[in-house]
Amino acid sequence: MRIVDKVVATLVVLLGAGTVLQAQFAIQNSGTAADLRGIDTVDGKVAWASGTNGTVLRTVDGGEHWLTCATPAGAEKLDFRGVQAFDAKTAIVMSSGKGDLSRLYKTTDGCATWALLLKNSDPDGFFDAFWLNAIYGEGMLLGDPVRGQFTVLKTVDGGVTWKRDQSKSLKLNGVSLAAFAASNSSIGRASRGEGDTRGPGIDFFPGFVTGGKGGPFLIERWEGRSRSKVRFSEGRSAGMFLTPGWNRRAIPLASGADSTGAFALALRYTGSPCSDCGFGTYWHLVVVGGDYTKPDERTGTAAASFTDGGWTWTAADTPPHGYRSAVAYDAGAKMWITVGPNGTDVSTDDGKNWSALKPDVARGEAADADRNWNALSLPFAVGPKGRIGKRTTKNREQGTGIREQDSREQGTFGGGGFGLLVVKVP
């Protein structure tokens, strides 16, 4: 959907008792004034960011230095709203815009050169989000509906070739729906947790969240080598499975207008999969959104699916304090983090209740330090005017001074105390 989300923030986290942890979104020098809308980190050291005016940035040292990449030829005016990082040399960026302004570019030499992977050939099309599985090469690209049907392109060779999914189950059938190009988060993915029998990696799944007048939905199709292929059928015996197809499941979020719905989907690993138990038994899903024209309206801004991988959803008992455009799970802190234009919220009970994080002006924090980030890929966040923040931790223990370390995607928050994330505004 054609929106521009501009958001900038700080996070405060509560941990157990014992050690005092100060966790800080330290603002880094990006070297650009572009509005940054995409961020993806490999391991907390290697990360790629993207934004307006064909801007792509790369770091290999945790953000100590950000390199401004060469702009792909002909992309000087493109809005790169999504990026996927594979390693220090390899990344794919997605631009969003009407018609052929929606594209995918790939680099394999650390962004010295770029190859055009895909250019939207439909004059009415608009790319919203994409994701590729680094192990198997499976991937999906989501675009706004064209001629009454969602645009879903699929690849099985790492993005070399793409084929449009013509499934009838992607048709809108008169319902007004769309996706949001807010933070490349309409398609869910998550890092595998410890104990996963398949080993480390990133799982995405063929599923996406929507908005619009027709209401927010998860539209999902479980299949492929990187996930369980089957889904139990409603109204049939336990031994019968649904043939893989696109299933539409309602999400209790804000609805009724083009500006409302689900903006971001994230997953948490809950246990090792089995061959016949289905995808939903080992992932917990959280969705955030709301109405981006009413950033202070908190009703209908978060929901979660606890046990069945998106088949059923429950609205948050205590929702975030306004519209939210991105959400992420910090496994180390056992905490969900969501950001939006008017602030930041966290949940320590899997999305049932959310608490606002407010800056402490007495500690020298900026009064607006909790707001206006565009996207998250922990420990990084990005926002307008080249804003990049990285969350770090400082352990303060009596008699031991201060020990500082990076907070990685899987989290480095330990034993206890109070954690405070501070944005230093230059």
Most confident of 227-231, 326-330, 396-400: 326-330
pLDDT tens for each residue of 114-164: 999 999 999 999 999 999 877 678 889 999 999 999 999 999 898 999 999
Q: What are phi and psi of 362, to 5 degrees?
A: -65, -25
Q: Return the bridge partners of 402, or none.
A: 396
Structure-model confidence comparison of residues 364 and 305, the more confident one: 305
Name residue, tokens 């975030």. Answer: 320
pLDDT tens for each residue of 352-361: 999 987 777 7
How sure is the predictor about 182, in pLDDT bands with cuts at 50, 70 and 90?
Answer: confident
Output the pLDDT for position 110.
97
| Residue 240 burial class via C-beta count within 10 angstroms: exposed 0-12, middle 13-18, buried 19 and up | exposed
Structure-model confidence comparison of residues 239 and 290, the more confident one: 290
| Contacting residues for 201 by C-beta, under 8 A, at least 6 apart | 134, 135, 191, 192, 226
| Token representation of residue 253 | 């979020």
For residue 175, pLDDT beyond 70: yes
For residue 46, pLDDT beyond 90: yes
Structure-model confidence comparison of residues 40 and 406, the more confident one: 40
How sure is the predictor about 330, in pLDDT bands with cuts at 50, 70 and 90?
Answer: confident
Output the pLDDT for position 223.
54
pLDDT tens for each residue of 357-387: 777 777 766 677 777 888 999 888 899 999 9
Q: What are phi and psi of 169, to 5 degrees?
A: -70, -5
| Token representation of residue 192 | 């595998």
Cα 40 to Cα 37: distance, rounded to the nearest angstrom: 11
Mean pLDDT of the 187-204 span: 63
Q: Are strands 127-132 and 139-146 parallel, antiparallel or unpaired?
A: antiparallel
Rounded to whole angstroms, what are the CA distances from 34 to 61, 78, 85, 97, 384?
21, 11, 19, 17, 7
The domain spans of the chain are 45-370
Q: 45-370: which CATH topology?
A: Neuraminidase (2.120.10)
Task: Note whether 128 and 145 are within 8 A (CB).
Answer: no
How sure is the predictor about 256, in pLDDT bands with cuts at 50, 70 and 90?
Answer: very high
Task: Note whether 125 and 118 are within 8 A (CB).
Answer: no
Output the pLDDT for position 241.
43
For residue 195, pLDDT beyond 70: no
Residue 345: alpha-carbon gap to chain centroid: 15
| Count of Cβ atoms closer than 10 Å to residue 426 Cβ | 5
How sure is the predictor about 31, in pLDDT bands with cuts at 50, 70 and 90?
Answer: very high
Rounded to whole angstroms, what are the CA distances from 422 to 66, 111, 191, 425?
21, 31, 26, 9
Task: Note whether 301 and 316 are within 8 A (CB).
Answer: yes
For residue 238, pLDDT beyond 90: no
For residue 402, pLDDT beyond 80: no
How sure is the predictor about 191, in pLDDT bands with cuts at 50, 70 and 90?
Answer: low
| Residue 109 burial class via C-beta count within 10 angstroms: exposed 0-12, middle 13-18, buried 19 and up | exposed
Report which of 75, 92, 171, 88 is spatially closest to residue 130, judged by C-alpha positions. 92
Structure-model confidence comparison of residues 420 and 38, the more confident one: 38
Structure-model confidence comparison of residues 21 and 34, the more confident one: 34
Report which of 262, 276, 407, 252 is spatially closest to residue 335, judged by C-alpha positions. 407
Q: Is omega for the bond preceding 244 within 30 degrees of 0, making it cis?
A: no
Output the pLDDT for position 270.
76
Cα 375 to Cα 308: distance, rounded to the nearest angstrom: 27
Q: Are strands 418-420 and 20-28 parallel, antiparallel or unpaired?
A: parallel
Output the pLDDT for position 417.
30
Output the pLDDT for position 272.
55
Least confident of 29-43, 286-300, 309-323, 377-391: 377-391
How sure is the predictor about 23, in pLDDT bands with cuts at 50, 70 and 90?
Answer: very low
For residue 40, pLDDT beyond 50: yes
Output the pLDDT for position 317.
98
pLDDT tens for each residue of 71-87: 999 999 999 999 999 99
Output the pLDDT for position 193.
56
| Token representation of residue 392 | 């770090």
pLDDT tens for each residue of 90-116: 999 999 999 999 999 999 999 999 999
For residue 391, pLDDT beyond 80: no
Output the pLDDT for position 198.
57
Most confident of 240-244, 293-297, 363-367: 293-297
How sure is the predictor about 207, in pLDDT bands with cuts at 50, 70 and 90?
Answer: confident
Structure-model confidence comparison of residues 401 and 254, the more confident one: 254
